[in-house]
C-alpha cells in the first residue's frame, strides 16, 4: 500500500454505557478511495467525526498526515475536507456566498478565493448557478455545491459521509461522476461512508463495520471471494415445502430473504438443471447472479444491510434518548 495518510489505533467512542465505536484499527493510503460499508448506526459517522476532530475519542489514537488529532487539531482540520451526511449549506445565501464564507473561514488567501471558487464550480458543472439562492436548488445541485465547498481549501483528504443519501439513482450516478473526476484530477485521498453496495464498489479497499466493530477489511474483489460461487434466487409456490426439500436433498444452506430463497452454489450453470429437476413446477421465479457486497454482508452478519437501514430511524431516536439522559 502507498504511504499511510490516516492511521487509527484502538479507537473507541462511548456515550455513557453505549459503545458507538468499539476498539477499531485501520490505515488509509495516500491517494486511496477508502470505504466504510455498514448500516446506519454502525459507527461510520462517529468515526469520521473523531478523525476530523469534531468528536473526542474515549480512547485510542488517530494521526492524519502525521499529525495527532488530539494535539494538532487545527493543523488536521486545515488538511481535511468534509461533506456531511446532513445538508449544511445556508439556504438563504447564494451558491457563491456559501463558498466565499467557507474560503474566509479556512483562511484562503484573498487573491486565490475567486479562482478557487470558479474552478470548484466548473468541476461540479455549476458555474452558471453561482448567483442562485441555495434554497431553490434541487437536492442533487445542493450536494454538488457541498462537494465544491469541501474542496475549496485544497484538502489532502476528502471525507464523504453518505454523499448521495436521499438522492434518486440518476442523481446519485451524476454525483459519483463528479467525485471520480475530482479524484482523477487531484489524486485526492477520499474516505467514504455508505450503505449503498454499488457505491462501495468504487473503493480501493472497504472496511465492513457493524455494531461499532470492523468485521472485515479488504478490496471489493477479495471481500466477494469470501463467498465463493454464484447466488441463486428462487421464488416458489410453496416456500416452506421448497426450503425443506432443499435442506434434505442438497448440500446447500438455503436462506429465506423476503419472499425468496437464496442459495450459494459453486456453479450456477451446473446446478440449474438439478434444481429445476428437484423443484419442478413449484418454481415461480429463478435467477442466478454473481456474488455482490450485499451477499458478503449477509455472510458476515447473517442479515442484509437493508434490514438494518430500514430500522435506523428507530435506533437513532433511541440513542438520542440515551444521550439526553447522560
Q: Return the sign of the alpha-carbon dihedral for residues 266, 268, 274, 280.
A: positive
pLDDT tops 50 at residue 37:
yes
pLDDT of residue 313: 41
Cell numbers at residue 145, please? 455545491
Q: Please give the full DSSP string across 100-132, using - where no structure is assigned.
A: HHHHHHTT--HHHHHHHHHHHHHHTT-GGGTTS
Q: Judge: domain 4-223, CATH 3.40.50.720.
A: no
- What does pTM read for this prediction? 0.77
* Residue reference for cell 413449484: 282
Q: What is the mean pLDDT of residues 125-147?
A: 93
Of 113-117, 199-203, 308-312, the poorest mean pLDDT is in 308-312
Q: Return the sign of the alpha-carbon dihedral for residues 249, 303, 292, 172.
A: positive
pLDDT of residue 306: 59
Highest averaged pLDDT of the listed ranges 2-11, 57-66, 181-190, 217-226: 57-66
Domains of the chain by residue range: 4-223, 229-290
Nearest to 79 by CA among 100, 54, 106: 106
pLDDT (tens digit, 9 = 90+) per residue, 17-27? 999 999 999 99
Query: What class is the 229-290 domain?
Result: alpha beta
- 1, 24, 83, 149, 303 from 218: Cα distances, Å: 12, 15, 24, 31, 20
Q: Do the domains 229-290 and 4-223 match in fold? A: no
pLDDT (tens digit, 9 = 90+) per residue, 44-58? 999 999 999 999 999
Of 102-106, 128-132, 174-178, 309-313, the poorest mean pLDDT is in 309-313
Q: What is the mean pLDDT of residues 245-258?
A: 87
pLDDT of residue 58: 97
pLDDT of residue 7: 97
Amino acid at each position: 500500500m502507498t504511504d499511510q495518510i490516516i492511521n487509527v489505533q484502538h479507537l473507541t467512542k462511548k456515550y455513557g454505557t453505549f459503545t458507538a465505536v468499539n476498539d477499531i484499527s485501520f490505515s488509509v493510503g495516500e491517494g486511496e478511495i477508502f470505504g466504510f460499508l455498514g448500516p446506519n448506526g454502525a459507527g461510520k459517522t462517529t468515526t469520521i467525526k473523531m478523525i476530523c476532530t469534531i468528536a473526542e475519542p474515549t480512547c485510542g489514537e488517530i494521526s492524519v498526515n502525521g499529525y495527532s488529532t488530539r494535539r494538532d487539531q487545527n493543523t488536521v482540520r486545515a488538511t481535511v475536507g468534509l461533506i456531511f451526511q446532513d445538508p449544511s449549506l445556508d439556504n438563504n445565501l447564494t451558491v457563491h456566498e456559501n463558498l466565499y464564507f467557507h474560503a474566509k473561514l479556512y483562511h484562503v488567501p484573498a487573491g486565490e478565493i475567486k479562482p478557487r471558487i470558479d474552478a470548484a464550480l466548473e468541476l461540479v458543472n455549476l458555474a452558471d448557478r453561482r448567483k442562485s439562492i441555495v434554497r431553490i436548488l434541487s437536492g442533487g445541485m445542493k450536494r454538488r455545491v457541498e462537494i465544491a465547498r469541501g474542496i475549496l481549501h485544497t484538502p489532502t483528504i476528502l471525507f464523504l459521509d453518505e454523499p448521495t443519501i436521499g438522492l434518486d439513482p440518476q442523481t446519485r450516478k451524476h454525483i459519483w461522476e463528479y467525485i471520480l473526476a475530482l479524484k482523477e484530477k487531484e489524486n485526492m485521498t477520499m474516505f467514504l461512508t455508505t450503505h449503498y453496495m454499488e457505491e462501495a464498489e468504487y473503493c480501493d479497499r472497504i472496511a465492513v463495520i457493524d455494531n461499532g466493530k470492523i468485521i472485515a477489511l479488504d478490496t471489493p474483489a477479495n471481500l466477494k471471494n469470501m463467498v465463493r460461487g454464484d447466488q441463486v434466487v428462487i421464488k416458489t409456490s410453496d416456500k416452506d415445502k421448497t426450503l425443506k426439500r432443499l435442506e434434505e436433498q442438497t448440500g446447500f444452506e438455503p436462506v429465506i430473504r423476503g419472499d425468496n430463497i437464496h442459495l450459494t452454489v459453486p456453479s450456477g450453470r451446473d446446478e440449474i438443471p438439478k434444481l429445476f429437476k428437484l423443484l419442478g413446477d413449484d418454481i415461480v421465479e429463478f435467477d442466478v447472479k454473481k456474488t455482490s457486497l450485499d451477499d458478503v454482508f449477509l455472510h458476515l452478519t447473517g442479515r442484509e444491510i437493508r434490514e438494518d437501514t430500514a430500522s435506523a430511524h428507530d435506533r437513532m431516536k433511541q440513542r438520542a434518548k440515551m444521550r439526553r439522559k447522560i
